[in-house]
């Protein structure tokens, strides 16, 4: 949680961070699981996933065709708060080579045959790449949106 003093009192904000599933790819393992877009990958095989590199390293250590477990958390907004729901999925991986041989054959190489692939499109989401001063300016209202030389909107 992120705690900010706004001049009147402290406010707590929960900001999820991690690897977010933005979609699944047809014909690949995760596509048959009904994983909601926007879900965060919490762990693969019980190992916590904090970044895209961490996910890649974990998948590279798993032989394609292995049955794995993946835990995700999906947030919904209700009654003024975000609530997270954990989901566990069990499925068999495929090889990264199977993806590249189909969609980008010129990039496919034999080492990819030993790397697992889930069939998810991911992005990193969270505070990690944005300075805290940016959030302060948004919350306290001194942030300006500029549109070239034609003017600006002060919030």
- Looking up residue 52, the CATH number of its domain turns out to be 2.30.42.10
Residue 81: its pLDDT value, please? Answer: 73
Residue 129: its pLDDT value, please? Answer: 52
Q: Is residue 45 part of a domain?
A: yes
CA 60 – CA 92 distance, rounded (Å): 14
Q: Is residue 110 part of a domain?
A: yes
Say yes or no to pLDDT of 154 above 60: no
Q: Is residue 101 part of a domain?
A: yes
Q: Is residue 139 part of a domain?
A: no
Residue 117: its pLDDT value, please? Answer: 95
Q: Is residue 113 part of a domain?
A: yes
Domain count, the chain: 1
Q: Is residue 34 part of a domain?
A: yes
Residue 42: its pLDDT value, please? Answer: 94
Q: Is residue 131 part of a domain?
A: no
Residue 11: its pLDDT value, please? Answer: 74
Q: What is the pLDDT of residues 20-55, one digit of tens each?
A: 999 999 999 999 999 999 999 999 999 999 889 999
Average pLDDT over residues 73-99: 90
Q: Is residue 3 part of a domain?
A: no
Domain limits for position 92: 18-125
85 pLDDT tier (thresholds 50, 70, 90): very high
């Amino acid at each position: 949680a992120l705690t900010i003093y706004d001049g009147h009192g402290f406010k707590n904000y929960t900001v999820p961070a991690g690897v977010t599933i933005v979609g699944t790819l047809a014909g690949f393992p995760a596509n048959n699981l009904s994983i909601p877009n926007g879900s965060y990958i919490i762990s693969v095989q019980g190992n916590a996933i904090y970044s895209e590199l961490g996910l890649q390293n974990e998948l590279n250590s798993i032989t394609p065709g292995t049955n794995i477990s993946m835990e995700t958390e999906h947030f919904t907004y209700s009654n003024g708060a975000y609530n997270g729901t954990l989901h566990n999925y069990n499925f068999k991986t495929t090889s990264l080579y199977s993806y590249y041989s189909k969609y980008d054959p010129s990039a496919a190489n034999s080492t990819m045959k030993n790397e697992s692939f889930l069939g998810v499109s991911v992005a990193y989401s969270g505070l990690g790449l944005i300075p805290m001063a940016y959030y302060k300016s948004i919350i306290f209202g001194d942030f300006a949106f500029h549109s070239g030389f034609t003017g600006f909107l002060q919030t």
